[in-house]
Every structure is written in structure tokens, then in C-alpha cells.
Structure 1
């Protein structure tokens, strides 16, 4: 009897524990972010107009958020935990480690990591990064499938997790648009030329032009990294929305109903997906994030109006139901 109770307690502890490799990976990314920050201050070398350690810093921060979010999600599961553990471990070993390792390796060498075909070594490094990115997409998709199939008491979170994963996968997919040759590069390749660079972040101008502080996003051309970043982090934003709604429900009775909070998560997720698509559309038109034209602003206003209307309708229906439940029969 005692052994049975101990086994159950051990199983309970295992179920609620965070995924070890992903947690350690997040901690390693935090250390790398600090080291990269020091590198930015101490190392004056630049690549494409940016400090060589800026890219490792940005990727360390992004990977750290990605890893800690998945580690937390896996800790919430009750089924297929062993399968999810292996998928998370492969994500760290096959995606995060080679990807960030390649970026740091090129930073140490003082050369560009992405789209670099200058030498056989640079081409190999970029191919490794591309393969790791494909594996990361597949692992995130597989993790998403098993996480979606979990039973959850909180219905809002049951919607936030799959919708966050779907939008995040779409954001990751934007990265593949960057690897396609630009029009000029495609023509040069058709002419039989060997190129040092194939692919680009920017649309409408070469990479390396004027950029925003910290992010480096282009200010004189379209930049696909904006949509890539926004879409990718739906993985964190939408679960945080679900958690925030649950906390607000303690003070706002209109949010107490699980159906209301679930509907709000769906509305916000739809708006977030629309924003990601809008940013892709803006970048593909060669338009910088900070210089939207009238068409972009009109589309953004329309999207904001739709989201606000959806939120308003959900809250109105919830308030009406609450009044009906309180009214005497």
C-alpha cells in the first residue's frame, strides 16, 4: 500500500514537472543573451551595418521564450507525456542547438549567417541552419498535435494553446519566404552566375540598409522579419491572454463564464492571425513597417474594428446572459 502511494506521488511529481531539456535550453539562451550583450559592447565588428553579436542576442531571446513556453505547456499534460518528452528533447537537440550554434559560429567569424553562400563553409553552415529550421517546424507541429489532444479544465486555455501553435507555425513559415531568391538574384542565377548571397530579409531594397534600433528591421523597404517575429510569438501571447482573462474574471463578473473567455480568446487569436497576415502583405509590397501607406492603414483600421466589434459582441452577450440569470422568474 505504501509503495503504491509512493508510486502515485512520483507519477504526480513527474506529470507536473517542467520539461528538463527545454528548461535547460531556455537557461542556456539566457546566458547566451547576456554574453551577446557584452559582445555588442566589447566587439566593434559589424555585419550588414549591425554589430556581429546582435543576431545571437535576438535569437537567444526568441529561442529562450520558445523553449520556456513549450516546457511549461508540456508540464500541463496528462497523456502521451513520454512522447512529448522525446519530441521536446529532439526540438532542443535537432533544432535549437544547431541553429543557435551556427549563428554564434558565424558571429565569432565576423560573417553573415543567413543567406551566405560566399564560401563552401558558409554555404554548409546555412544549409545546416535550414535543415534545423525545417526540423523545428515539424517538431513544433508534432508537439502541437499532442498538446491539442490533451484534456483541459480551463476551456479558454484549451483554445489558446492550439490557436497559438497554429499562428506560431504560420509565423515560422514566413522564414521560408526569405530564403527564396529575390528577382535580381533569380535572374543572376538564370544567367549562370555564382552568388555570394541568395535570399533576403528585405523586399524592395538590398539587405543592410537603414534599420530600426535593436530589431534592425528595415525602415526603407519591406521586411519579412516583422511578420515572422509577430506570428512566431503567438505561442506566448495567446496563452497569456487566456491567463489574463482568468485573472480578470475575479474582478469582472462578465468574464466568469468559460464560454465567454473562450470566445474572447478566439476573437483575439483571429485578430492576431490577421495582423500577421497584414504584416506579410505589407512587407511583400516593399513597404516598411514604420511607413505604411493609406491602403495599409485602412486595412489595419478594418482589422482593429472587426476585433473590437467581436470583443464587444461577446461581452454584450455575456452581460445579457448574466442579467437574465439574475432576473426573477
Structure 2
């Protein structure tokens, strides 16, 4: 995937072709970087298990092979100057799009099996364990939401024309319109890639959030409490799930991410208030003597030192 990312970056420089309103090598670059991050994160999560299993290895291999096939189709279609997604114009295009659908289903199934294995294992302290588990659940939800993009749009159904294209990532406006830099998300209508992205990359966001908490624990005593770290992870996961629901609702209503209406802003405000209240509740209470001792161990598996036995303080 890293090699494909380099090839795609070079393609952006030397190939000036444009497809559906974007540089033709932009999609391979985004997908290769995303798949690389996804695969590395799953590998790290599986490495947390104390007893590797054959089922876990096969599931990981399934995810890798599915990602490689997906990228092969995307890159091949880019070389041909054809759309990889939603394109059923020719028998070859239709067949390749079908292959991509099968590989994504296989990738989801492999990730689901990995999630089942990790829900049965202790992956460090409780905060780390639940950061990984909940990140996986949100990633599975994000992958499923990608399926909304392959459904025929109202415009396609009204025209009765499903001979060349089926599905779209934009809602309320055609694909290929004005878009945000870097992400390519539509700026004039809804974009179903947004919830797809938010869900999938919660896989990295929640563990990174926990790493941030642990990095700050040396300066803030309260964060040394394992129970506080767990509660903060649960609050972050709840906030992430609420934001995922919000951006999905926003996209389905044909609303651009940065053009929210009153209802969207009200929902966002409610999420912000709920998250702030949850964070305050998570940080409440006085740390116990155990919680005040320095953190030891590797990040993600931090533990507290045991208190000195009371008898050592008696003469």
C-alpha cells in the first residue's frame, strides 16, 4: 500500500487527467493511504492478544488480500481513465465493480471476525481494551454505511437509466461538483463518504485519544486513575458514535458538512453539551492512593504501583 501511495503521488504530478471533477490519481492515493493505516492498526490490535490464533491470522490475511484486490481494480481503472466506483457502462466495468463489492464484503467479514476475537481477549488495561473494542465497532459501522453509496439515486431511478452508473457518493447534487481540498468531499450537497470516513477511522482515533490521555497523566494526577481513563474513553466513544449518526443524517439530507442548518447545529450543540457533561462526570471524585502512584509499563497497558503494605509503616 505504501508503494501504491508513492506511485499515486507521482501520478498526481505527471498525469494531468481529470475524472469526475478531480485529478485522476487522487482516488488511488486516498485509498492506498487509508488501507495502509487500516491494516497497520488491525495488526497492532491483534498483536495485543497474548495467544495468537489461526482464525485471527486467516482473518488478517483476508483483510490484506481484499484490500490488495480493491486497490488493483482502482489503480487499473485509473490507468484506463475509467471510474472504478459506480461504473457499469461496459461488461468489464460492471465486472470490476462487482469484484470490488465482493472484496469489501470480505474485508468487513474479516474485520468482524477480528472484532469477535478481540472482544474475548484482554488487551491491556480496561481503558485500552475498550478503546480497541469500541473503535472496531465504529469502524464496522462506518464500513456498512459505505453500502449506502451503491444504492440507485432518486435521479437515476426517476430517469430509469441504470445502464451506465449505479449509486453515487453525493446526495442532492451530481458527483464531481465543488469539493474540499485533501478530502474531496462535496461542498454543495451531502456526501456519504463523510460518515464512511468518520466510522472507519475511529479505529485509530480512540486508541490515539487514549495515548494522549496517558501522555498527560504525568502532569495531571487525576488521569493516573485507571477508572478515569476508562470513563474518558467511554465518553469519547459515545461522542464519536453520536457524531457518526449526525454526519450520516446530515449527508442523507443532502447537506454539505460545513453548511449545517438549524437542526444540525442544534444536534451538534446537544452532542457538545453531552460530551462536556460526560467528561466532567468522568473526572469527578478524589483519586485513591493507588491512583496517585506513577504510571508504569508501556503505553496502552499502563498499570499503577501497588501500595506499600500497612505493616511496613508500624514499628
* TM-score in same-fold range (> 0.5): yes
Q: Is the 8 A contact 2:138 2:241 kept in 1?
A: yes
Instruction: Give the aligned partner of residue 222 of structure 2.
Output: 254
Structure number having the greater helix percentage = 1
**Equivalent of 1:225, from 173, 178, 193?**
193
Alignment of 1:42-53 (within 5 A): 42-53=14-25
Alpha-carbon offset, residue 154 of structure 1: 1.3
Partner of 1:14: none
Q: TM-score, normalised by structure 1?
A: 0.85
Report what 1:309 is aligned to. Answer: 277
Are residue 150 (structure 1) and residue 125 (structure 2) matched? no
The partner residue of 1:166 within 137, 150, 169 is: 137
Once residues 164 and 109 of structure 1 are traced to their aligned partners in structure 2, the CA distance between those partners, rounded to angstroms, is: 36
CA distance in 1, matches of 2:162, 2:234: 48
Are the counterparts in 2 of residues 69 and 236 from structure 1 also a CA contact under 8 Å? yes
Paired with 1:37 and 1:86, the residues of 2 have a C-alpha distance of 31
Give the superposition deviation at 1:321: 4.4
What are the Cα deviations for residues 172-203 of structure 1, in whole angstroms up to 9, with x where unaligned? 111100000011212344xxx44211100000
CA deviations 1:266-294 (Å, max 9, x no partner) are 00000001111100000011000121112
Aligned 1:21-32 pairs, distance under 5 A: 29-32=1-4
What's the Cα RMSD here?
Answer: 1.7
Structure 1 residues 179 and 263: alpha-carbon distance in aligned structure 2, compared to 1, 3 A threshold: same
Q: How many positions carry a matched residue from both structures?
A: 292
Q: Secondary structure at the match of 2:106?
A: helix
Question: Aligned residue for 1:289?
Answer: 257
CA shift digits 1:306-328 (9 cap, x unpaired): 111100111023xx3449x99xx
Of 177, 187, 191, which residue of structure 2 is paired with 1:209? 177
- Cα distance in structure 1, aligned partners of 2:178 and 2:158: 25
Q: In the alignment, is residue 64 of structure 1 matched against residue 14 of structure 2?
A: no
- Contact 1:74/1:81, CA 8 A, preserved across alignment: no
Task: Show structure 1 runs of 5+ residues with no match.
Answer: 1-28
Among candidates 102, 122, 127, match of residue 131 of structure 1? 102
- Extract unaligned runs of 5+ from structure 2: 293-315
Deviation per CA, 1:235-268, whole angstroms, max 9, x where unpaired?
Answer: 0011112222222222211011211111110000
What is the TM-score with the length of structure 2 in the denominator? Answer: 0.89
**Whole-angstrom CA distance in 1 between matches of 2:100 and 2:78:** 14
